[in-house]
Amino acid sequence: MRKIGKTLLLAVFALLCAGCLGGCHGRVSTTSFAVPASFDEEDSYEITFWAKNDTNKTQVRIYNKAVEGFQKLYPNIKVNLRLYTNYGDIYNDVITNISTGTTPNVCITYPDHIATYKTGKHTVVPLDDLAADPKYGLGGTELKFDGPSQEEIIPKFLEEGRIDGFLYALPFMRSTEACYINKTYVEKLGYEVPDVLTWDYIWEVSEAAMEKDKDGNFRVNGQNVMIPFLYKSTDNMMIQMLQQLGAGYSTPQGEVLLFNDTTKELLQEIASHAKSRSFSTFKISSYPANFLNAGQCIFAIDSTAGATWMGSDAPLVDISPDKVVDFETVVRPVPQADPDHLQMISQGPSVCIFNKPDPQEVLASWLFAQYLLTNEVQISYSGTEGYLPVTSKAQQSEEYLDYLAAAGEDTKDHYQIKIDASRLIMDHTEDTFVTPVFNGSASLRDAAGHLIEDVSKGARRKKEIDDSYIQKLFESTEKLYHLDQIQVEGKEEDLRDLGPFPATAVGLLTLLGIAWALILLYVIADWLRSGKKS
Amino acid sequence: MKRFRVAAAAVLVTALALTGCSSNKKETEAVKETQAPAVEAASEAASEAVSEAAAAAEAVQTEAAAAVEAAQTEAAEAVEAVETEAAVEAVETEAAVEAVETEAEETIEEVMTEAEAAIEEALTEAEAILAETEAEKALEEFLTEAEAVAEAIETEAEAVAETAETEAEAVVEAVETEAEIVVEVAETEAEEAVEAAETEAEEAVEAAETEAEEVVVEVAETEAEAVVEVAETEAEEVVVEVAETEAEAVVEVAETEAEAAASVETEAEAAEDVMSYDEYMAAQDDDPVVIEAYVQAKQALYEDNPDVGCDTATIYAQDEDGAYFLYSVPVSPEVYEKLEEGTKIRVRGYKSTWAGEVEIVANDDLAEVEIIDGESYVAEPTDVTDLLGDEDAMSAVMNQKVAFKDMTVEFIEGGNETEAEVGSAAGVAYLYSWDGSGSEGDDLYFNASKDGKLYTFVVESYLCGPDSDVYKAVKELKEGDTIDMEGFLYWYEGMQPHITSVTVK
């Protein structure tokens, strides 16, 4: 009895000390998620899924079908679907809902955005434990569907969801950018379309296309409108150009390297073509697909997930049919600096899970997120655009291989350009890259695009785009996107010497030391006494 | 335990021996003559028994005393151990007191158990010895005495326990007091440290203030010197000026007149800067433009628009000559609030065309939309129903407030399916987003026909959101409804009116 009493006393004291010491390092929140031992199938759960589609009705149908299929397997989980058509709106709504504690359960997103979401404590659930759980993890024994194992997710894509060493997102679909080319016009201009485009090539052909006839119409298309080279996402354009040239963009720790001499040179080159009007952007002119299909563009660069809009026979068209011209379309990787060493961006939706007080609800969310990786969802969704399934299980399935083999058999489900776009990323998965993710990386991406948009507008407005102009642009861009406020991890200032401890801290630490010494002495004395008695 | 048994037996035997001796004397007298030899033998035996009993009693007494002493020593040791433990533990919790109490109780229980066992054994032994004698009385007396001894031991043990408890409590109190003192000392030290830090901070602030004052004084002195210098210079100049007053007065008058003339010219130039609608339409894309017009409607304020670098709004403006679409032009929240229907504004920006839509976008200086007080104009909708199908004629009224009369609501492909999917009623004639891929809050698209030709209309959610009458009205439209509509003739790769009102006939 006495021994038990002493043990208890020691335990209480040790706990108190541990509490004090723990307090020095911040309180451990009770809201961090731990994987439950089993999923409760008796209780009912309602989860919300915020999904992004490419303004594509078929994708909406697939989401709905996925929800339906999942609910059949798990009748106690109700999934509420909310549809978005752009990532920006999802991002803004999530940020708003983090502050009110009303985030969705499952959300389509970009890793850049997650880096901001997770600045809230325990807001986004790290997926490592869930993925590795033998019962409910990837390929788990208790799953009611045939999901992929962790090894069956393309490793390169899986790693893109890893932030600060933890897995925060599962890849859902992957795409890259592609150059959709009016081959008919290129050949009319006296050029061939190479397997790999270079930037020099694309600038040269674009300038050649600006020649006009005596009536002021462009010789190549006979129209009064021609923008030979149109780029949809100028942030990707700048990022890929810098990557291909080995120039700075950012470090993984969040240090901004964008404003460098290579960027200056690139901007001057781009501005010269904007000035001649051989180059323009989506923000300045409109969707590249509309100009391409109207015979007013030769090189349209957009996502492979926009392939169904590209070409004379495109299943989706935004201009009146009488304006569509007939031409041959071919798909190529984005222009390269070194054609022997291709580099292209990896993009596409990922899925993250938001934390909730009830671990069972989080587990329900995880089950649904994982369901999105089943072959059924992966193959059907990837077929809506030039997407690529993110699992080898889907990519190597007979169903998917049949789908690829049927390219060109029709202009809808098996539209040649769309399947060519999917093949492009499939063949070049190892040539893809992503930019470092940190809190502020989304702003840096916007800033990269802003530089191109600004010099293009400036050149069109007859401004002199020289060193001085670009230097001012660098400064204003850094301020506009708050890049000077990005916290660089492990920056030297953060490791600076803070000087000696204050007297109060020294006193407290001394007291703690004495307390532990006394405890130790007591334990030794007690042990010795026990030894003598026995 | 053994000690108590032996002591009790000794006492018992002693008492028995004494009682037995008295009885033998009486019997001796009664049978003296007949049983003399036996008496003698018995007497000898009795004497031996008495001697043995006396020795046993003495031994028992000695052992009992030793037992009591041992019990006391044991209790004292227990108390000492508890005291030592309490002092070493230095933890002021009731658990220690409870442990001591428990220990004392256990000691009492043990003593009691041992005493009872000793009594039982002694009783057994006594019963055996007195089986054939009249020792019952003595036994009773012994029992009484034994109980008294046990009670005394119990009382003594309780007293020992109480003393131990009291001492333990005293120890705990002492430890608590010491702990409080330690805490007080720590608190005092902490307060002193805080005070020291505050004092240091105050001193730092004072030093900074002093430095600031010194800087201010220096600056003031420098400025004062500069002022003195200027004053001296001016004084010198005044001397010169006095001499030239008349001449300068003439010059000043001439300069004033010249400035006035220049000002008139500047105002005239500014007025010339503002373009007429025709001049605006004649300008090329990316040319700088300045227009004045009247607000007809505004979309939601876009705070801190990253594409522009400031707060912006999209505005539908018009005058008697034509309409302007002001896309994401700089507007502060204060100005935005004042932009009522009919408000006159001046806008500086660049002309632009996006997907066929002619518009004005922000200029490089991010010049804000300027409100011009006094005048107001609200355009009447132009009925363009007859222009439907004529793209050139329609583009001539681009962005204007327009009306469509007697249009027929048509089935929209995907409408039923979309609603079925989202769980709403079937048979609707609208889509969220252009193909139904959106959801509540997104733009509404619907089709209406005139003379058998189909046209698409939009409720732009940033202009008329889900709470607006027109948004709700469109969601109630059914295929075949005849409607009148008003809105602005927005353009996206062709006519795409932004509808602001729908009336079902």
Note whether B99 contacts A502, CB cutoff 8 Å. Answer: no
Q: Angle A375-382/A398-405 helices, nearest 10 degrees?
A: 10
Give B382-504's CATH code, choosing from 3.20.20.70, 3.40.640.10, 2.40.50.140, 3.10.310.10. Answer: 2.40.50.140
* Domains A45-175+351-396 and A177-346+430-485 in one fold: yes
Other beta carbons within 10 Å of A494: 9
Q: Are B439 and A83 in contact (CB under 8 A)?
A: yes
- Digitized pLDDT (tens) for each residue of chain B, 505 residues in all: 444 444 444 444 444 444 443 444 444 444 445 556 655 765 676 577 667 767 776 886 788 678 778 877 886 786 677 667 756 665 555 665 577 667 767 876 886 788 678 768 867 775 776 665 565 676 677 677 767 866 876 777 677 668 757 775 776 676 566 657 655 765 677 577 667 767 776 776 577 566 656 655 575 566 657 655 765 666 566 545 655 666 576 557 656 665 655 554 554 455 558 999 999 999 999 999 999 999 999 999 999 998 899 999 999 999 999 999 999 999 999 999 999 999 999 999 999 999 999 999 999 999 999 999 988 999 999 999 999 999 999 999 999 999 999 999 998 876 444 443 443 344 578 999 888 888 889 999 999 999 999 999 999 999 999 999 999 999 999 999 999 999 999 999 999 999 999 999 9
Please tell me the predicted confidence (pLDDT) of residue A503. Answer: 63
Nearest in space to A330 (alpha carbons), one of A299, A295, A297: A299
CB A333 within 8 A of CB A424: yes
Residue A139's pLDDT is 95
pLDDT at B193: 63
A15 — contact with chain B (CB < 8 Å)?
no
Residues of A in contact with B189 (CB under 8 A): 503-504, 507
CB contact under 8 A, A85 and B306: no
Give the CA angle between residues A279, A179, A235 to the nearest 5°: 60
Pick A504's closest partner by Cβ from B90, B189, B306: B189
Could you tell me which of A347, A426, A316 has the C-alpha nearest to residue A108? A347
CB count in 10 Å sphere of residue B161: 21
What is the distance between the alpha carbons of residues B115 and B108, in angstroms, rounded to a whole number?
Answer: 10
How far apart CA B488 and CA B490 sit, in angstroms, is 6
Q: Is the pLDDT of residue A96 over 70?
A: yes
**Distance spanning both ends of chain A, measured CA to CA:** 16
Rg of chain B over Cα atoms, rounded to whole angstroms, equals 59
In the structure encoding, which two tokens stand for residue A216, read together? 């002021």
Instruction: CATH 2.40.50.140 in chain B: give the residue spans.
Output: 277-376, 382-504
pLDDT score recorded for residue B12? 47
Q: Angle at the Cα of A482 (from A478 to A483), degrees rounded to 5?
A: 60
Chain A, nearest residue to B287 by Cα: A461
- Interface mutation target, options A3, A58, A60, A227, chain B, most CBs of B under 10 Å: A60
Comparing CB atoms, the residue among A85, A286, A461 nearest residue B350 is A461
Torsion A392-A395-A399-A405 (CA) sign: negative
List A residues 486-505 in contact with B (Cβ-Cβ < 8 A): 502-504
> Options 3.40.50.2300, 3.40.140.10, 3.40.190.10, 3.30.360.10; which CATH number does A177-346+430-485 get?
3.40.190.10
- Residue numbers in A near B439 (CB within 8 A): 82-84
- pLDDT, average across residues A338-351: 97
Segment among A216-230, A299-313, B250-264, B437-451 with least mean pLDDT: B250-264
User: Which residues in A lie closer than 8 A to residue B432 (C-beta atoms)?
Assistant: 83
Q: Which residues pair with B302 in a beta bridge?
A: B312
Say what the pLDDT of residue B195 is: 78
Q: Domain spans of chain A?
A: 45-175+351-396, 177-346+430-485
Which residues in chain A are contacts of B306 at CB distance < 8 A? 446, 450, 480-481
Q: Classify strands B323-330 and B302-305 as parallel, antiparallel or unpaired.
A: unpaired
Tokens linked to A375: 């072959």
A85 in contact with B at a CB cutoff of 8 Å?
yes
Q: Is A235 on the interface with B (CB under 8 A)?
A: no
Please tell me which of the candidates B91, B103, B285 has its beta carbon nearest to residue A2: B103
Query: Residue B57's pLDDT is what?
Result: 66
Residues A121-132, mean pLDDT to the nearest whole number: 94
Interface pTM (ipTM) of the complex? Answer: 0.80
Q: Are strands A229-231 and B430-432 parallel, antiparallel or unpaired?
A: unpaired
A13–B186 C-beta distance less than 8 A: no
Query: Is B421–A64 a contact, with Cβ atoms under 8 angstroms apart?
Result: yes
Q: Which residue of B has its CA nearest to A480?
A: B309
Which residue is closest to A450 within chain B, CA to CA? Answer: B307
Domain at B277-376, CATH class: mainly beta
CATH topology of domain A45-175+351-396: D-Maltodextrin-Binding Protein; domain 2 (3.40.190)
Task: Give the model's pLDDT for residue B419.
Answer: 40
CB contacts of B436 in chain A (<8 Å) are 57, 60
Tell me the shortest Cα–Cα distance from B16 to chain A, in angstroms: 42
The minimum CA-CA distance between A248 and chain B, rounded to whole Å, is 23
- The encoded tokens of residue A166 equal 């933890």
pLDDT band for position A505 (50/70/90)? low
Range B176-193 burial, b when 16+ CB lie within 10 A, else e = eeeeeeeeeeeeebbeeb
Interface test with B, best of A57, A95, A108 (most B CBs within 10 A): A57
- Residue A417: per-residue pLDDT: 98
Q: Among residues 301-360 of chain A, which lie with CB inside 8 Å of chain B? A: 318-320, 323
Question: Tokens 């390092």, residue?
Answer: A25
Return the pLDDT at B64: 66
Point out the residue among A6, A53, A504 whose CB comes nearest to the CB of B190.
A504
Interface test with A, best of B82, B91, B352 (most A CBs within 10 A): B91
- The residue ranking higher by pLDDT, B200 or A419, is A419
Reported as type and span, the H/E element at residue B375 is strand B370-376
Residue of chain A whose Cα is closest to the Cα of B88: A522
What are the backbone angles phi and psi of residue B320, rounded to the nearest 5°?
-65, -20
CB distance B493–A320 less than 8 Å? yes
Asked if B462 has any chain A CB less than 8 Å from its own CB, the reply is no
Instruction: Say yes or no: B392 contacts chain A, CB-CB below 8 A.
Output: no
Residue closest to B411 by CA, chosen among B451, B469, B442, B456: B456
